[in-house]
Amino acid sequence: MIPQRLVIVGGVAGGASAAARARRLCESCEITILERGPHVSFANCGLPYFVGGEIVRQDDLLLQTPASLRARFNLDVRVRSEVTSIDRVNRTVHVRDLAAGTEYDLPYDNLILSTGAAPLLPPIPGIERAGHFTVHTVPDVERIRAWIRDCKACHAVIVGGGFIGLEMAEQLVRHGGLGVQLVQSLPQVMGPLDPEMAAWLHRELEGHGVELFLGNPVAAFEDPRPGESARASVVVLADGRRLPADTVVLSLGVRPRVQLARDAGLEIGSRGGIRVSEHLQTSDPNIWAVGDAIEVRDAITGAWSLLALAGPANRQGRLVADNLFGRPAPFKGCWGTSILRVFDLTAGCTGANEKTLRAAGIPHQALHLHPGSHAGYYPGAEPIALKILFAPDTGRLLGAQAVGRDGVDKRLDVLATALQAGMTVDGLAGLELAYAPPFGSAKDPVNLVGMAAQNVRNGEVLTAQWSEVPQYAPPDAMILDVRRREERDKGFIPGSVSIPLDELRSRLGELPKEREILVSCQTGQRAYFACRLLSQHGFRVRNLSGAWRTWDAATRGGRGH
């Protein structure tokens, strides 16, 4: 039956998408959006850039207003209207009008929950002091801007090194002119990346003056002691270090907002999100849920997981309306495709990372490459640190990560598409992609990574990972560096022996046949050539995946205090 009264709780990414799609499918329905905050359909993803001033006008963050949604879609949008409970038997929601101070019940035939996620605020002593901010709503960023407006030589401590923490670090340094320290309880920033890929971000942050404190959780926020100057508080780390802060940005992650659903007796999943069917229906057939508040299936591991991303929330909003209005379509799961800019670097990932695959016991092979963003002979090419993970038996792509200054977004999106299409590394090698010198190479980085994986799968070359290098130390094995001497002069793996590739054929006698040889170069390509040469001469060889560049970033790249 077509619902005549559709009520939506939460009027931003998922809620507003659902409402607009519902109207396009049903002109006669009553559609009401109830939003607790003062704005609907605002660009949460733009908030850090408004703090830094890159987005200049606050109005640019407000994509729609209640009036514009009424005019275009005939939606009844009620802001400052909090839903406090759901009566599933009588099919009503209880609404508190925060502006008028009144309360009322609103009936529904179908209800969509898009209540989002709330910033995580662990019970750290002093966490709620003045000058501490989360970055979640337009009023949040107005408060931050007001606090730092008149700050001279202001110093910020950012707690949490995920997407929002890193975007805020960039904005506060680059546009706010603040000194920034970033504290992270894990030993790396950007949890979705594997550590050797996150290391590039550590370097970039430190290169722009952001001081990193990694693997060092906050123990407390305290008053300054005599001699300490801090307008907000002193951030005390687990190891006792004290970081005086004029402002503190709390970006410790988010937790799905499920209290309303829980109180109504709807099923909550093991990860703490609202459990929904693949048609986005909760355990009550008249109540649906989308966005950050729900659990989704991880498309690679099959496990329930939480994901706070705008793309899935928007698509689920559209899909839930399709499901309600007679166009049933499943939401198949998430790949976690995400991207971030940190100063001049872009970093992103899609699918599973190595940490997840290991924890899930899924067999995988990792491969690192550092191809140029476009043809090397055309000016301005930049290396892209590219990592793929694939199934050793079938060659199916399981995940990809990329970090670089140019061309990262395009490769990531190609790899995300390939992943979602269930492609194998053979498919990557064979993809026909657009090429002219300013844009790519005749063998695009995506082709190259597929070809390199084919070489591994068909046994042409064995690889070893950066973390396995100590196993190849002499005297049991040997590490061979085939770069030119001037490259090696800038740094090398301790204990490695240098024979440049072009001298290798004439110096085979210097190499041991009885020991395994780990071959490295700058990016992995010359080491692969060397491996092919040496294995045909009877040597036991392995190619160091990602070679010097990956090893150097992983072991020596900015690692904080």
Active site residue 29: no
Listed in sequence order, the residues at least 6 apart from 123 whose beta carbon sits closer than 8 Å to its beta carbon are none
Of positions 292, 298, 354, 444, contacts ligand FAD by CB under 6 A: 292
Q: Which residue has the tokens 């305290």?
A: 222
Q: DSSP assignment, residue 54?
A: S
Pair 546, 527: CB distance under 8 Å: no
Query: Is 69 one of the binding residues for ligand FAD (CB under 6 A)?
Result: no
Give the 3-state secondary structure of 212-273.
Answer: EEECCCEEEEECCCCCCCCCCEEEEECCCCEEEECEEEECCCEEECCHHHHHCCCCECCCCC
Of positions 7, 12, 55, 154, contacts ligand FAD by CB under 6 A: 12
Listed in sequence order, the residues at least 6 apart from 158 whose beta carbon sits closer than 8 Å to its beta carbon are 165, 168, 169, 172, 180, 181, 182, 183, 248, 249, 251
Contact map string, positions 185 to 224, toward ligand FAD, x by CB under 6 A:
----------------------------------------
Query: Is 256 one of the binding residues for ligand FAD (CB under 6 A)?
Result: no
Query: Is 336 one of the binding residues for ligand FAD (CB under 6 A)?
Result: no
The window from 35-43, 448-456, 471-479, 535-543 that contacts ligand FAD (CB under 6 A) reads: 35-43
User: Among residues 142 and 503, whose Cβ is nearest to ligand FAD?
Assistant: 142
Query: Is 14 one of the binding residues for ligand FAD (CB under 6 A)?
Result: yes
Query: Is 115 one of the binding residues for ligand FAD (CB under 6 A)?
Result: yes
User: Among residues 117 and 178, whose Cβ is nearest to ligand FAD?
Assistant: 117
Listed in sequence order, the residues at least 6 apart from 207 whose beta carbon sits closer than 8 Å to its beta carbon are 343, 558
How far apart CA 231 and CA 250 sit, in angstroms, is 16
Of positions 15, 126, 165, 399, contacts ligand FAD by CB under 6 A: 15
Give the shortest CB-313-to-ligand FAD separation in angstroms: 3
Of positions 110, 114, 323, 447, contacts ligand FAD by CB under 6 A: 114
User: Among residues 13 and 453, whose Cβ is nearest to ligand FAD?
Assistant: 13
Of positions 83, 214, 398, 408, contacts ligand FAD by CB under 6 A: 83
User: Among residues 55 and 499, whose Cβ is nearest to ligand FAD?
Assistant: 55
Query: Is 409 one of the binding residues for ligand FAD (CB under 6 A)?
Result: no
The window from 287-295, 393-401, 422-430, 438-446 that contacts ligand FAD (CB under 6 A) reads: 287-295
User: Among residues 86 and 478, whose Cβ is nearest to ligand FAD?
Assistant: 86
Which of 29, 349, 521, 531 does the annotation list as catalytic?
521
Query: Is 8 one of the binding residues for ligand FAD (CB under 6 A)?
Result: no
> Between the CA of residue 76 and those of 67, 260, 313, 507, what are the distances in Å?
9, 21, 21, 80
Provide the CB-side half-sphere exposure for 416 (13 A, CA): 17
CA–CA–CA angle 335, 336, 338 (5° rounding): 130
Of positions 34, 183, 250, 402, contacts ligand FAD by CB under 6 A: 34
* C-alpha radius of gyration, the chain, whole number: 27
How far apart CA 130 and CA 233 sit, in angstroms, is 8
Beta-ladder partners of 99: none
The CB density around residue 57, as the number of other CB atoms within 10 Å, is 8
The window from 29-37, 280-288, 345-353, 364-372 that contacts ligand FAD (CB under 6 A) reads: 29-37
Query: Is 165 one of the binding residues for ligand FAD (CB under 6 A)?
Result: no
Helix (H), strand (E) counts: the chain: 15, 30
User: Among residues 13 and 398, whose Cβ is nearest to ligand FAD?
Assistant: 13
Q: What is the DSSP string of 152-168?
A: SS-EEEEE--SHHHHHH
Give the shortest CB-65-to-ligand FAD separation in angstroms: 14
Give the shortest CB-350-to-ligand FAD separation in angstroms: 12
**Structure tokens that stand for 315 in this block:** 């698509």
Restricting to residues 120-139, name those near ligand FAD by CB under 6 A: 135-136
Tell me, rounded to whole angstroms, the distance of Cα 32 from its chain centroid.
33
Query: Is 36 one of the binding residues for ligand FAD (CB under 6 A)?
Result: yes
How far apart CA 136 and CA 5 sit, in angstroms, is 30
* Count of residues near ligand FAD by CB under 6 A: 33
Residue of this chain nearest to ligand FAD (CB atom)? 291
The window from 43-51, 193-201, 371-379, 517-525 that contacts ligand FAD (CB under 6 A) reads: 43-51
Pair 183, 243: CB distance under 8 Å: yes
Give the shortest CB-235-to-ligand FAD separation in angstroms: 21
**Residue environment code for 236-255, b if the CB has 16+ CB neighbours within 10 A, otherwise e:** bbeeeeebbbbbbbbbbbbb
Q: Give the helix/strand (H/E) hosting 533.
A: helix 525-536
Query: Is 37 one of the binding residues for ligand FAD (CB under 6 A)?
Result: yes
Query: Is 446 one of the binding residues for ligand FAD (CB under 6 A)?
Result: no
User: Among residues 166 and 230, whose Cβ is nearest to ligand FAD?
Assistant: 166
Give the shortest CB-338-to-ligand FAD separation in angstroms: 6
Restricting to residues 308-327, name those near ligand FAD by CB under 6 A: 308-311, 313
- 312: amino acid identity, one letter: P
Query: Is 48 one of the binding residues for ligand FAD (CB under 6 A)?
Result: yes
Phi, psi of 64 (to 5 degrees): -145, 165
Any idea which residues carry the catalytic annotation?
521
Q: Which residues bind ligand FAD (CB under 6 A)?
A: 9-10, 12-15, 34-37, 44-45, 47-48, 82-83, 114-116, 135-136, 163-164, 257, 260, 291-293, 308-311, 313
